[in-house]
A and B are shown apart, each in its own frame.
Chain A
């Protein structure tokens, strides 16, 4: 079907109408280019956000105490809910779906007064009393040393695991492992340095944290028995929602909270969040395809229009061809081929440039931006959009070709 003569003819018509052809091609090119850019950006957003989620154990979440809002069993509303180690034991024993429970306690925070000292340097960081379970909840990279372990908690060791930013600010080149830092006046031995698996602002917040054993924190900072809130991981195959509900039911009962008082306990689980995000991204994906296909369709319709004009201009020529023996099919294939060549060529350029720009974006952004990572268009997507375009080109040629084939040689020649 693709023989030299047809190429020559297609080339001849294109050459005759350079500007028109170029403008048409631009329509198609722009369609595919934008579509790939949109798809690539959508992918980047998706990658960025899922990476942040990826650092969390799947089906995990948090439960924390707030204030009651309903009177219950003779207790007034407005009562703050506080947890202690007995709750930890109760939860661990009574909630079936619970895989790991990570009771936490926060001591002072980032942005507060300077609370950490190493030699002559002081700085403010977030200090958390944690158990080894927390490392299972939020995954980090241990650059040096180790994380908290059960013995640290059991023996109330005065050890600290610090974020990489803490190391950068306080130690400046000194190997922090084995060094002592003073937190609120108490000395802790640094046993590990970690960096975040997340990106952007989340990552910078992560690496400003210092984790010390929960039990040590309780004793050293006069918070005996206190627990701030709970992190948890559900057992494999158990929904985080179920575990969260079970935990809250138990806690309501233990803290004498009205069963309907939903705002007395705060909760958040990543499963829910994750599903929400997934839904959002699927939505975005569909939207991108919708918009992209619309743009493509506009380009393809442009080609169709131009081909109609081409057929009109070439009526006489087509008539001559018919008179000397061209079959309707040969005319149809001529017009179709021209439409497909224009769309495919313009689309190919759009494909190359679209992928090129997405890759450049990838290089330029790197790990720098929050919630945006590795914008990319995978090969199947690129091929799919290209195929859609070529099929679109066929469709674009169909009506003009039909019109060309219906040209009666006699009328065309006499015109």
Chain B
């Protein structure tokens, strides 16, 4: 599903060039539940941004579902983000002036799906994440865990191939973290590839495979025994 070949990425800081990713090779197959770990500065967020086509890379190749993702126009990038990817962020990133249902339905708006159709689907997904009764609530009326579940529903609505999560439990207490992780596992069980960036070992333990990054390279890549993918 995700094939990364010798990806390099550096940031230009004035006259200094700071290399963040120093040649990463990575293959993630369809249906995997993968976590990416590493200390801050290891390049894990940058990697996730590249995986999410939110950022460009200078060298190497990135194939998502068989398509090369390199030097895409903004319009193309928007298309792939919309059709192939679902994002879940640490700080949820829901639109404050839209209620839960409308937030979930938003990606389908950009696919020009009719209002009725996308609202029906959004409601289904809210039921699935256990928030069927909160559909008309505004984000500020929801708890952190609820917000993250709305965000997950939003990530799922366009039926993407890959769910990318950036510290999805970073802003949650341990109990809600567990609930959110259970939800990710459930999503994974339904056949979606899920990639989670985290620095929490408990989160990584719940994934079937953990990739450790350090200084812009893959340090080790372990399959967790006992976690089915």
Contact = CB atoms under 8 A, between A and B. Distances in A.
B82 A325 contact: yes
B83 A325 contact: yes
Interface string A266-284: 0000000000000000000
Given A5-B115, A413-B89, A327 B55 contact: no
Pairs A-B, 5 closest by C-beta atoms: A325-B82, A12-B97, A410-B54, A325-B110, A327-B78
Given A12-B97, A327-B74, A321 B106 contact: yes
Contact of B54 (A9, A16, A323, A328): A323
Nearest to B93: A320
Q: What DSSP secondary structure best describes chain A's contact surface?
A: helix
Contact of B82 (A320, A324, A408): A324
Contacts of B74: 327-328, 405
B75 interface: yes
A328 B75 contact: yes
23 contacts: A12-B98, A317-B95, A317-B96, A320-B93, A321-B110, A322-B78, A322-B81, A323-B87, A324-B106, A324-B110, A324-B154, A325-B79, A325-B81, A326-B110, A327-B74, A327-B75, A327-B110, A328-B74, A328-B78, A405-B74, A409-B54, A410-B54, A413-B89
B38 interface: no
B145 interface: no
Interface of B: 49, 52, 54-55, 74-75, 78-79, 81-83, 87, 89, 93, 95-98, 106-107, 109-111, 115, 154, 158
A4 interface: yes
Nearest to B84: A325
A320 B95 contact: yes
Contacts of A405: 74
A326 B96 CA distance: 17
A39 B74 CA distance: 47
A330 interface: yes
Nearest to B49: A410
Which one of B55, B78, B79 has the highest number of Cβ atoms from chain A below 10 Å of its Cβ? B78
A325 B97 contact: no
- Tell which of B110, B111, B158 has the most Cβ of chain A within 10 Å: B110
Contacts of A413: 54, 89, 93
Given A328-B75, A329-B75, A410-B54, A323 B115 contact: no
B71 to A, nearest CB: 15
Interface string A314-344: 0011001111111111100000000000000
Contacts of A316: 93
A326 B78 CA distance: 6
Q: Which interface residue of A5, A320, A323, A405 has the most chain B CB atoms within 10 A?
A: A323
B158 A325 contact: yes
Contact of B52 (A16, A323, A329): A323
A258 B184 CA distance: 111
Contacts of A12: 97-98
Contacts of A325: 78-79, 81-83, 107, 110-111, 158
Given A323-B87, A325-B82, A5 B109 contact: yes
Nearest to A16: B97
A409 B89 CA distance: 13
Contacts of A328: 74-75, 78
Interface in A389-415: 405, 408-410, 413
Contacts of B97: 9, 12-13, 16
Contacts of A4: 115
A110 B4 CA distance: 105
Nearest to B155: A324
A13 B96 CA distance: 11
A324 B81 contact: yes
Nearest to A316: B93
A330 B82 CA distance: 13
